[in-house]
Amino acid sequence: MITHRRMGATRLALLSSLALASLLYGCGGGETIALEEKGSPFIAFDIWVKAGSQNDPEGKEGLASLTAQLLADGSTQQDTYQQIIEKLYPMAAGYGASVDKEMTVFRGTVHVDNLEGYYGLLKNALLTPAFSQADFDRIKSQTLNYLERQRRYNRDEELSKELLYWMAYQGTPYQHPEEGYVQSVKSITLDDVKAFYDTYYVANNIVTAVGGGFPGGFPQRVRADFDTRPKGRVEKVPAPELEELDRVRILIVEKETDATSISLGFPTELIRGKGDFYAMKLVNAWFGDHRNSFSHLYQVIREKRGMNYGDYSYIEPFPLGYTTQDRPVNVSRRSNLFEIWIRPVGQTWVGDLHPRALFAARAALRELARLTANGLPESEIDRTKVFLSDYSLNYGSTVSRRLAYAVDDAFYGLSGPSGYLAAIRPELAKLTKKDVDGAIEKHLKSPGMYMVFVTRDGEALKKLILSGKATPNTYSGEVLLSLVSEDQQIASWPIVVQGDDIRVMDISEVFESR
pLDDT tens for the chain, 514 residues long, are 222 222 333 344 344 444 334 454 454 568 999 999 999 999 999 999 999 999 999 999 999 999 999 999 999 999 999 999 999 999 999 999 999 999 999 999 999 999 999 999 999 999 999 999 999 999 999 999 999 999 999 999 999 999 999 999 999 999 999 999 999 999 999 999 999 999 999 999 999 999 999 999 999 999 999 999 999 999 999 999 998 899 999 999 999 999 999 999 999 999 999 999 999 999 999 999 999 999 999 999 999 999 999 999 999 999 999 999 999 999 999 999 999 999 999 999 889 999 999 999 999 999 999 999 999 999 999 999 999 999 999 999 999 999 999 999 999 999 888 899 999 999 999 999 999 999 999 999 999 999 999 999 999 999 999 999 999 998 877 888 889 999 999 999 999 999 999 999 999 999 999 8
pLDDT of residue 21: 43
Question: Radius of gyration (Cα) for the chain, nearest Å?
Answer: 24
Per-residue pLDDT at 415:
85
φ/ψ of residue 506, rounded to 5 = -75, 150
E runs forming strands in 153-310:
206-212, 248-254, 259-268
Other beta carbons less than 10 A from residue 50's beta carbon: 19
pLDDT of the residue at 478: 81
- Helices 63-72 and 115-127: crossing angle in degrees, nearest 10, is 140
> Which pLDDT score, from 0 to 100, does residue 3 have?
24
In contact, 264 and 450? CB cutoff 8 Å: yes
CB 490 within 8 A of CB 359: yes
* Contact present, 404 and 109 (Cβ < 8 Å): no
Query: Quick one: 271 exposed, middle or buried, by C-beta within 10 A (0-12, 13-18, 19+)?
Result: middle
CA gap 170, 242 in Å, rounded: 8
Instruction: Please state, in angstroms and rounded to a whole number, the distance separating the CA atoms of residues 21 and 38.
Output: 11
To the question of pTM greater than 0.95 for the whole model, the response is no
- Give the amino acid at 433: K
Q: How far apart are CA 448 and CA 249, in angstroms?
A: 8
CA–CA separation, 57 and 291 (whole Å): 36
Contact predicate 450/53, CB 8 Å: no
> 10 Å Cβ neighbour count for 398?
15
d(CA 369, CA 496) in angstroms, rounded, equals 14
**Phi, then psi, of 504 in degrees rounded to 5:** -110, 130
Q: In 10 A of CB 490, how many CB atoms? A: 25
Contacts of 142 (CB under 8 A, 6+ apart): none
CA distance 310 to 297: 8
HSE value, Cβ hemisphere, 13 Å, CA-based, for 219:
28
pLDDT at 29: 60
